[in-house]
Structure 1
Amino acid sequence: MPKIIMWDMVSVDGFFEAPGHDISWFVFEDELAAYIGETQRDAGTLLFGRVTYEMMAAYWPAAEGEIATFMYGIEKYVFSRTLATADWNNTTLVTGDPVAEVERLKRLEGGTIFVFGSADFAAALTARGLVDEYRLGINPVLLGKGTPLFQNIPERTKLELTHVRPLKSGVVILHYQPVAD
């Protein structure tokens, strides 16, 4: 059964985007690119909510390099009640129950499933206990306002820290796994 990993860049004060879906504050440099290359080799599928999908689909098709090649080729699912089509290469649009579809995907053979961004979608997966690991890139910035990464979580979820990787840029990558009470 594939593992579901939620991977997000966040500010020290817990926001994954500034107002207006602004992510220009992310610290993205060679050391982070190397980490992404190392840790996503076993990825088989990417999952997005609509807003994150639209941002990714607008950026990655014109980009170049190892991550762009990865993003182009990997199987992707976008979960949306409003999109009519999803035209980015290897993308399936899911308009029905997102939790049921992710439960189905998790029963299939294949590589790790990654969730990027998509706060509402990720919260629904967290609420159903479907996320096996949280990977957070804590960026050295306070935004003051924006979209919190973890919102609408119905109950406390205890996490165990399994990995820490500080980068020269000041970003600290943390890996957490949910712990059963």
Structure 2
Amino acid sequence: MRKVIMWDMVSVDGFFEAPGHDIGWFVFEDELAAYIGETQLGTGTLLFGRVTYEMMAAYWPSAEGDIATFMNGVEKFVFSRTLTSADWARTTLVTGDAVKEVERLKKLEGGTIFIFGSADFAAGLIEKGLVDEYRLGINPVLLGDGVPLFKPGPQRTKLKLTHTRPLKSGVVILHYEPAADAG
């Protein structure tokens, strides 16, 4: 079964966007680009909620470099009840049951499935136990306000730390999996 990994850059105080969908505070440098190259460029599928999809689809088609080539070429699914089309290359629009579709995708052959951003969409998958790993790039900044990555949920989920990678920029990458005794 394919693994679903949620990857996000977050502030120390837990926000993945500052007010106004501002992500300009992310620390992005060569060491982080190397990490992405090592861990994400072999991904088989990307999942997005509408807001993140629209932001990504507005940026990546005109960008250049290895990450842009990957983002524009990888299979993508956008989950939305309001979009009527998804024109970014290799994107499928899903307007129905997100949980059922992700359960179906996990059973297909192919590489890892990543969720970028998309906190509202991801919350439903987290609640149903469909996220197999959380990868967080903790940025050395306190935003004070913004969009929290994790939404309030019905249950506590214990996590097990599986990997840490501090970067010279002050970003610390953490990998967590749901603990066997989660709940």
TM-score range, shorter chain: over 0.9
Q: CA deviation at 1:40?
A: 1.2
**How far apart are the structure 1 equivalents of 2:17 and 2:48?**
15
Give distance in 2, aligned partners of 1:26 and 1:102.
28
CA RMSD of aligned residues (A): 0.7
Whether 1:151 and 2:151 are equivalent positions in the alignment is yes
The secondary structure found in structure 2 opposite 1:83 is coil
Paired amino acid for 1:20: G
Moved more, 34-43 or 110-119: 34-43
Alignment of 1:1-181 (within 5 A): 1-181=1-181
**Residues 89-128 of structure 1, C-alpha deviations (whole Å, 9 max, x = no match):** 0000000011110011011111000000000111111100
Question: 1:2 deviation in Å?
Answer: 0.6
Give 3-state SS (helix, strand or coil) of 1:43's partner.
Answer: coil
**Are the equivalent residues in 1 in contact too, given 2:49–2:79 (CA < 8 A)?**
yes
Structure 2 residues without counterparts, runs of 5 or longer: none
Structure 2 Cα separation of the partners of residues 63 and 169 of structure 1: 23
Describe the SS at the equivalent of 1:21: coil
Q: Percent identity?
A: 82
| 1:156-176 deviations in Å (ceiling 9; x for gaps) | 000000000001111000000
Indicate the larger mover: 38-47 or 135-144. Answer: 38-47
**Matched residues, number:** 181
Partner SS state of residue 44, structure 2: strand
Structure 1 CA distance for aligned equivalents of residues 66 and 41 of structure 2: 11
Corresponding letter in the other structure for 2:104 = R
Q: How far, CA to CA, are the matches of 1:42 and 1:4 in structure 2?
A: 13
Q: What is the SS of the residue equivalent to 1:64?
A: coil
**Contact between 2:9 and 2:16, CA under 8 Å: does it hold in 1?**
yes
Q: Which amino acid aligns with 1:59?
A: Y
Is residue 41–residue 67 contact of structure 2 (8 Å, CA) maintained in 1? no
Q: Unaligned regions of 5+ residues in structure 1, if any?
A: none
* CA distance, structure 2, for counterparts of residue 44 and residue 27 of structure 1: 25
Q: Detail structure 1 runs of 4+ shifted over 2 Å in the superposition.
A: none
Q: CA deviation at 1:154?
A: 1.6
Which range moved further: 159-168 or 34-43?
34-43
